[in-house]
Amino acid sequence: MFEMDKRAAVGALLIANMLMATRFTLSRSIHPLLKRTPYSVFSAKQLPKSHPCPLWSSSFSFCLDIHHKSTTPLSLSYSSFGSFVSASSMATTALDENIEANPLLQDFDFPPFDAVEAKHVRPGIRTLLKKLEGNLAELERTVEPSWPKLLEPLEKIVDRLYVVWGIVSHLKSVKDNTELRSAIEDVQPEKVKFQLRLGQSKPIYNAFKAIQESPDWKVLSEARKRIVESQIKEAVLNGVSLEDDKREQFNKIEQELERLSHKFEENVLDATKKFEKLITEKKLVEGLPATALELAAQTAVSKGHENANAENGPWVITLDAPSFMAVAQHARNRSLREEVYRAYVSRASTGDLDNTGIIDQILKLRLEKAKLLNYNNYAEVSMATKMATVDKAEELLEKLRLASWDAAVQDIEDLKKFSKSQGALEADDLTHWDISFWSERLRESKFDINEEALRPFFSLPKVMDGLFNLAKKLFGIEIEPADGLAPVWNNDVRFFRVKDSSGSAVAYFYFDPYSRPSEKKQGAWMGEVVSRSRVLSRNGTSARLPVAHMVCNQTPPVGNKPSLMTFREVETVFHEFGHALQHMLTKQDEGLVSGIRGIEWDAVELPSQFMENWCYHRETLMGIAKHFETGESLPEDVYLKLVAARNFRAGSLSLRQIKFATVDLELHTKYIPGGPDSVYDVDRRVSERTQVIPPLPEDRFLCSFSHIFAGGYAAGYYSYKWAEVLSADAFSAFEDAGLDDSKAVKETGNKFRETVLALGGGKPPLQVFVEFRGREPSPDALLRHNGLLPVPATS
């Protein structure tokens, strides 16, 4: 911990850093960003994908185990042009015996997730691209610098491609198989080629420039100005101004980067699936909680061990999060912890699944791309569309590192001292596979909290009831089951309707609850299915409603028990729901900046991290925490212990995030692909400043760092910490109003909804924050929440 003068100094530095950075970069941050990839009509990158949780999350969660059916009709179409099947396209597409029945090409209300198979991908995407190419050619021929003649037809083209490609890429994430991979791999270059053609369209680019230079510019709404400015900027970043030979080189780079990122993710998934540890000796699983043993036995049954049970085994341990974390935190057998840990940190680093070469290729191509665009490095390309600059992001990380280091060192000393008091043979030599185990034992001892013992108090149905009640209290919305209204990709997936205070539907969302190691990638993420849009209105009057999906990897129900959650899993659900709320409660009708679109990347974590704070709010938590069998409430003293334990090992957890963010920036600023140092040399150097215990020599964590090599977080992982300042300060508005004052909470919640959740990317994020908070952001709340500033007497 820091003395008061040191804490004050850190706070002052952070305040200066945030304010300087936001003032300096806002004028340069006019770009529509959507989660993992920039959303621009000019973007030659992947279309917007889902948004993963930060890597601090130890486990992932969601869903309900009850099923309600709804027969309420809905008029909500994702087709802008009606059916995409024409006589010519059918004549030229002989790959599908019945192209007219291809579910990807239908005029659907909700995506036909249940009907799409690998065989539909090649003919469906190729037919779609042929149609869109014709629409683009027609737009270029008739384009005028006006909203109806430029933006409206352009949004329809982009949206249709996004929705249809979104179906197949989503299925690859949640229902992966060899046939689907192969089909996507075949058509992916054709999809990227079309995106490049669209992104480098001179007629469209010139029309945007003409709008900006026209006398009507001054009367455009702020949202429309943001769209125009961001599309011009993104067009330049996507090579529209390059000469022919350089543009051809740029396009080859984009094609290859797309291919490599998909291959990287596939290797991580396959490497995760590949590891299986069959255990037949009961003594090897000592310490594992009942839920983990039940899951391990259930996994064994699925692997052919028909008589496996939790009591007598056999048990199968995997690297899927629920299994891996159970071993890391609870297995008394140190050798088992070591074996599983080593397997986890070396995933996708050997043999056919080795991602090392892919990482080098990705970094080399990103640097080449930056040079073509006249930037010094790829981080500068990334920051061109964010709130921060490279310097300001690095400054923030370094100041947070200084604020976290001493606390993290003390964390390790505390573990050594405690483990020694428990007679642990490894006390003087604690290493990576001991940290989680002894941290849990110390937490149990210090706060008398056993996370596994708390699981019965956090059953999924109760948690979701509580979350939905909180959303009603804060934002005046009702959430009701709508199962059966939309097709789903797995029987565990739930579908919900969101209604406003008048009872009218304003949005819909899917939930995919549980871990499925054989077909589903790891992590937890929220993604857009469709956005709110005036242009894509079904009836021509009211805007098309937004639809989201949340995908998680929680421990599934075992036997007759519902899914029972750890407290961290509860936090994860709240986090992802925060993302979904910003997408669903938008009031912005301009489709390119509605919901999560158009929000600078380093601000987009604000609502998700904001929602996590409510897990520690007494009324909210006590409303959730009911024993799934007896209905007994969580004891008051346990609640107080949870709050007291909130900052347990806060220094270590903060440092972990800083390490990820710092190595990301180092690789995209200073690293020279093909130079004397390897990426692992960079990782080790960063670790010297960000890890109290150095990584193992064979640690290949980078080979599974999908956020930056298969997602949109390249030179952007710092965004989690940047936005954490914003989210903590936003929650402090509720603390200032009085968390126990229901009227004040409701009023503040409404203000949060009308600003942060409603305005989308139609205004700069700093301006949106000021409209909510009444001032620019301060890091005081973050430092206080992390235990680096005094905590108020009231929780």
What angle in degrees, to the nearest 10, is found between the helix axes of 152-174 and 178-199?
160
CA neighbor of 586 nearest in space, from 644, 626, 546, 645:
546
Distance CA 610, CA 502 (A): 26
632: left (phi over 0), alpha (psi -120 to 50) or beta: beta
Is it true that the peptide bond before 314 is cis, omega within 30 degrees of 0? yes
Rounded Cα gap, residues 581 and 584, in angstroms: 5
Among 715, 444, 474, 470, CA closest to 615: 470
Tokens 């004397």 belong to residue: 676
**Contact assessment for residue 772 and residue 726, using Cβ atoms and an 8 Å cutoff:** no
**Angle, CA of 524, 643 and 624, to the nearest 5°:** 60
Backbone dihedral region for residue 90 (phi beyond 0: left; psi -120 to 50: alpha; all else: beta) = alpha
At 34, phi and psi to the nearest 5? -130, 100
Distance CA 105, CA 90 (A): 11
Name the one residue in this structure whose structure tokens are 């993302």: 579
The amino acid at residue 542 is S
One DSSP character per residue, 683-738 reads HHHHHHHH-SSPPPTT--GGGG-HHHHTSS-TTTTTHHHHHHHHHHHHHHHHHHH-
Backbone torsions φ then ψ of 478, nearest 5 degrees: -115, 140
Bridge partners (DSSP) listed for residue 313: 309
DSSP letter for each residue of 741-776: -HHHHHHHHHHHIIIIITSGGGS-HHHHHHHHHSS-
Alpha helices in 460-592 (DSSP H): 460-475, 567-584
What's the alpha-carbon Rg for the chain, to the nearest Å? 26
What's the residue count for the chain?
Answer: 795
User: Amino acid letter at 640?
Assistant: L
**What distance in Å separates the CA atoms of residue 412 and residue 134, rounded to the nearest whole number?**
62
Active site residue 576: yes
Judge contact between 177 and 520, C-beta under 8 A: no
Q: What is the dihedral of CA 661, 664, 665, 666, to 10 degrees?
A: 120
Q: Which of 258, 576, 605, 666 is catalytic?
A: 576
CA 356/CA 680 separation, integer angstroms: 9
Query: Position of tokens 């709804």?
Result: 70
CB contact set of 704 (below 8 Å; sequence gap of 6+) = 268, 271, 272, 347, 348, 355
Residues 386 and 601: beta-carbon distance below 8 Å: yes
Catalogue the active-site residues: 576
